[in-house]
Structure 1
């Protein structure tokens, strides 16, 4: 490992302690490294604006930062255990190539605001990915909801309840993922604040050009208070995980439905072959492993949020505890986005088994229709309810799923899906 940035003469470094302090930090920093480089370019431009570095120096520093970014992308530069973390790697590389100009790059900033700004930029990118995935899911659901509706039993308490349809099922998840996309957008707007220039949490005795770095890095606003910049660490990360978790909750319920619907007992749905696997011992099996792991994926996101929340039992100001937030954040965000990326293809290719769904609709499932019809004719609803309960077994006589759905005219129901309204909401996100 290169000499730590904080190393002072006369202090011995115990390798075991350094390993504990660094952990896998430098490996995790690979995820944020390009953002750290981008922020470093904005920082040296700001230093040039206040005369701390010369025009020649800022040009050289930006050139070398661009070269470092390209070397990192190509694999010519590897961020590894030679460095304490990504921040020290950037400074070491600039010092090696540019001497004193490289040694000036850390003027006015701390590793605290470096990781804050790199993480903030990374989080904004990931929220954009989240929004895109949620929009893609919603689009597929709307497309399939617009196809001819097939009868599908509607369940409450996992018991057959009323007649539903495949169109209603898809429309429900379409609206859910439109809301999830909106939440991703709103969370991105909420965290869109520049912490660079807050240093270790108390500012510095230089007139740093924070307005410039805010514009250069594409932030909507400056995070003004250095103390709040530190207080927001973890808080903003949790907000992003919560936005992902919102989508994962809907994904979990969708996956639960498919887990049930693909069983031989239901046999309502056939999955695309690439979303299933074989058994290692039972030749007859095709297992819905992808669906099951999609169902389980919420746990990874929730666990990441929980770990960060537990780390935040801290006073104000930076505390080293927060180093441990990086691994859980990276894992939770990566796993959640990976799961959501698989969903549109699954939904587009899954096939309904109409005969099995139609066969599962039993006469008693029309009892609610009977009660509502009687209430509409003037019978007090509770009296109509009791009468329908007594004759539930024969409630379906002469009735069809299509007629039941056609009569369902309340907004959002079988004959009033309002898909155009949902499409308009989705389209509004694109503006």
Structure 2
């Protein structure tokens, strides 16, 4: 391992303790390394603007930071166990190439605000991706909802309840994912605050040009209080995971429906073959493994949230416990986004089995229609309800699923899906 930034000459470093302290931190830092380099460039520019770094040195540092980024992308530079973390690697590389200029780059900042700004930039990127995936899922659902509606049993308590349709099913998930996209964007706006320049959480005795770094890094505002910058660590990560969890909750319910609908007992849906796998022992099986893992993906995000929540039982100021939040955030966000990315294609290619769905619509499922028709003619609803319940087996006489859906004129019902309204909401979402 290269020389430690904090090493004191009278303290012997124990290799076992260092392994425990470092953990897999340097490997996780690979995910945030390019953002750390970007923030380092902005910090150097800010130091030059207040005269701490000479203009020539700033140019050299910027050039070397760009070179390091390119070497990292190409694999020429590998962030590995030679370094305690990504921050140390950046400083070591700059010092190796530029000597004293490299040693000046850490002036006015701490590894605390370095990781804050790098992960904040990363979270903005991931929340943008979350919004994009949710918009794509909503658009795929709206496309399918606009196709001719097929009758589909509607269930409550997993029991056949009323006549529904494939269009209503798709429209329901479309609106859910529109809301999820909006929540992702609102969360992004909430965490879009620049912590760079707050150092270890108490500011520094330099007139840092934090307005410049805020603009250079594309943040909408500066996180003014250094103490709050530290207090927000974990809090902002939780907010991002909660936005992701909102989308994965909708995905979990969609996946549950598809898991049921693909069984032989239902037989409503056929999945694209690429979304199924075979059994290692039973030659007759095709299993909906992808759908099942989509259903399970919420658990990964919930686990990440739980770990970070438990870490946050802390006083103000930085505590090393927070190091463990990085892995939870990375694994939760990465897995959740990978799951959502698969969904639009799945939605576009699944196929409904119309005969099986029609066969599952039984006469009693029209009883609600009968009761409401009687109520509309002046019969007190509770009386109409009891009469319809008594004659439920005959409620379907002369009725069809198409008629039931055509008469469902309440906004959002089968005859008034409000797809144009949902499409307008989708288009209105910020890019």
TM over 0.5: yes
Cross-structure match for 1:399: 399
1:101-250 aligned at under 5 Å gives the runs 101-250=101-250
Mapped partners of 2:346, 2:46: distance in 1: 48
1:277-426 aligned at under 5 Å gives the runs 277-426=277-426
1:3-42 aligned at under 5 Å gives the runs 3-42=3-42
Mapped partners of 1:363, 1:246: distance in 2: 37
How large is the Cα RMSD of the aligned pairs? 0.4
Cross-structure match for 1:54: 54
Q: Secondary structure at the match of 1:364?
A: helix
Residue 430 of structure 1 and its aligned partner are, at CA, apart by 3.8
Mapped partners of 1:70, 1:180: distance in 2: 35
TM-score scaled by length of structure 1: 1.00
Gaps of 5+ in 1: none
Q: Secondary structure at the match of 2:409?
A: coil
CA deviation digits over 1:269-289, x for unaligned, max 9?
A: 000000000000000000000
TM-score scaled by length of structure 2: 1.00
Mapped partners of 1:358, 1:140: distance in 2: 24
Mapped partners of 1:315, 1:182: distance in 2: 33
Mapped partners of 1:84, 1:23: distance in 2: 9
Q: How many residues align?
A: 431
Where do 4+ consecutive residues of structure 1 move more than 4 Å?
none
Mapped partners of 2:6, 2:324: distance in 1: 20
Mapped partners of 1:26, 1:262: distance in 2: 44
Mapped partners of 1:327, 1:200: distance in 2: 21
Mapped partners of 1:297, 1:151: distance in 2: 30
Q: Secondary structure at the match of 1:409?
A: coil
Gaps of 5+ in 2: none
Residue 171 of structure 1 and its aligned partner are, at CA, apart by 0.1
Residue 417 of structure 1 and its aligned partner are, at CA, apart by 0.3
Mapped partners of 1:205, 1:9: distance in 2: 26
Mapped partners of 1:398, 1:424: distance in 2: 38
Mapped partners of 2:347, 2:358: distance in 1: 21
Residue 394 of structure 1 and its aligned partner are, at CA, apart by 0.6
CA deviation digits over 1:123-177, x for unaligned, max 9?
A: 0000000000000000000000000000000000000000000000000000000
Residue 412 of structure 1 and its aligned partner are, at CA, apart by 0.3
Q: Secondary structure at the match of 1:80?
A: coil
CA deviation digits over 1:262-319, x for unaligned, max 9?
A: 0000000000000000000000000000000000000000100110000000000000
